[in-house]
Structure 1
Amino acid sequence: MQVNNLQTIHEDPHFLVLEKPEGLLAVPGRGPDKQDCLSTRAQARWPDALVVHRLDMATSGLVVMARGIEAQRTLSLAFEERRVHKRYTAVVAGELVNTQPDNGWNTINLPLMADWSNRPMQKVDHEQGKPSITRWRIAPGHTVPGTTRLELEPVTGRTHQLRVHLQALGHPMVGDALYAAPDQHAMANRLLLHAHWLSLPHPLDGQTIEFHSPCPF
């Protein structure tokens, strides 16, 4: 269902799952030119819709919004307690090899913090960074030579976490204006990062429910 140019994946009296397109802010930014965003569009249709989490502007895919303050508290707690699980599809520069048996999950454990002299960028910092964990494995699907398609699962939820962690491995995401080299940025007309799967406890009864979004690239 399309509402105000948004695709609605799920709607009930307690929460929404929306598909955020690439290039749209998740929440309003600073300045009058940055007020059009996913949350504003959603609230035009559902006045009780409240923000629970975000995606980067350059990232597409599944976003949850609560309906009402009680659902927001319940869902926010589920995020804090890591009972919400998200997976992303990304295409990275270079050929990344999975040495785990049967394409098992690999773990990136690198602490992250803001790169204050290069805002809004983030960086790995082993002394002052906050604990940050990402899991990855090879994803099915076509990629051009010299790139690798990955499935990513953030265990923590730091700003730009997936993008910085893959850059730190030496495999920045294709199309990334912040963290990729100019030639890697130019390989695509958008950041190749999409939130394709989401699992969460329903805020009313706690039953686990899953959502899927086809990868657009």
Structure 2
Amino acid sequence: MDVPELTPDEIQARVLHRDGLMLVIDKPAGLPVHRGPKGGANLEASFDALRFGLPRPPVLAHRLDRDTSGCLVLGRHRKATASLGMLFKYGKIGKTYWAVVEGGPAEDEGSIDLPLGRLNEERGWWQKPDPAGQPAVSNWKVLGRGDGLSWLALEPVTGRTHQLRVHAAAMGWPIVGDNIYGNGPRLGEPRLHLHSREIVVPLSRNKDPVRVVAPVPAHLHERLRACGWREE
């Protein structure tokens, strides 16, 4: 479900937060953040429309998978981007994702501590549980249940590639629409049900952290409602 590049107006309409140091934008599902080796539509191609008076476009401070939607942080200049990079590296930024998973955990909250490694050389980004891999920890909490599904809040303590997707699948409750680690289109759902719902950035020592919430995208509405979510 690839989506086309955003026009200047479209990407400006997706700005959730803007200050002198950073932007937080609402990334659409299906659009990669980077230009791929074969080219194609990507989010970075639209960043020039986000300069807002600065000489250079903003730069990605972290990444989201192509099929994940929601809060994405951009640094507005080199020094800010470096500061944000350190905050992400050392786990100082709070990240909460919403996911709809098949089945779900028996308990109401818990933690997954499962190291991850690369699946193989050909699939460079793909991951698998690997006792000899990098440490990976995710906290989770059930927000609702229904229709054989669960609505979870997921907090990645570490920031491994595809971490939440692999962890959920390894626990036996894959994320709806995950065509790599889950059952993908078997449920008739081509879209991954994983959304970067909230980000908390402690950017200034003498100010409260910046807290940004991304609206729930349309493709999650039906299954979230089945789990008890009420539209905002």
Q: TM-score range by the shorter chain?
A: 0.7 to 0.9
Distance 1:182 1:200, change over 3 A: closer
SS in 2 for 1:162: helix
Provide the residue aligned with 1:146 in structure 2.
148
**How many angstroms apart in 1 are the aligned matches of 2:46 and 2:72?**
13
Matched, 1:30 2:32: no
Q: Which of 116, 122, 125 is 1:112 aligned to?
A: 116
1:54 corresponds to 2:59? no
Unaligned runs of 5+ in 1: none
Residues 153 and 51 of structure 1, relative CA distance in 2, 3 Å threshold: same
Match of 2:209 in 1: 208
**SS of alignment partner, residue 105 of structure 2:** coil
Unpaired segments of 5 or more residues in structure 2?
1-6, 221-232
Moved more, 58-67 or 117-126: 117-126
Mapping 1:7-46, distance limit 5 Å:
7-33=14-40, 36-46=41-51
Name the counterpart of 1:168.
170
Tell whether 2:83 aligns with 1:88.
no
**TM-score (structure 2 length as normaliser):** 0.81
Provide the rounded CA distance (Å) in 2 between the counterparts of 1:116 and 1:151.
29
State the shift of 1:32 in Å: 2.5
In structure 2, C-alpha distance between the alignment counterparts of 1:149 and 1:118, rounded to whole Å:
33
Deviation, structure 1 residue 31: 2.0
In the TM superposition, residue 71 of structure 1 has moved relative to its aligned partner by: 0.2
- Indicate yes or no: 2:107 matched with 1:131: no
Specify the alignment match of 2:223 in structure 1. Answer: none
Any conservation in 1 of the 2:176–2:184 contact (CA below 8 Å)?
A: no
Q: Deviations over 1:125-179 (max 9, x none)?
A: 002x100000001024xx6511111110000010000000001001111111101
Contact 1:74 1:203 in 2 (8 A): no
Once residues 23 and 179 of structure 2 are traced to their aligned partners in structure 1, the CA distance between those partners, rounded to angstroms, is 30
Residue identity over aligned pairs, in percent, reads: 34
- Counterparts of 2:193 and 2:79 in 1: how far apart (Å)? 35
Partner Cα distance (2:189, 2:184) in 1: 11
Distance in 1 between residues matched to 2:110 and 2:135, nearest whole Å: 17
Give how far 1:213 is off: 1.3
One-letter code aligned to 2:16: I
> Aligned to 1:25, what secondary structure does the other structure show?
coil
User: Which ranges of 4 or more aligned residues in structure 1 deviate by more than 3 Å?
Assistant: 203-207
Q: 1:94-135: CA deviations, max 9, x gaps?
A: 14222xxxx4x41100000111156142100002x1000000
Deviations 1:74-103 (A, max 9, x none): 1111111211010001011114222xxxx4
Equivalent residue number for residue 81 of structure 2: 72
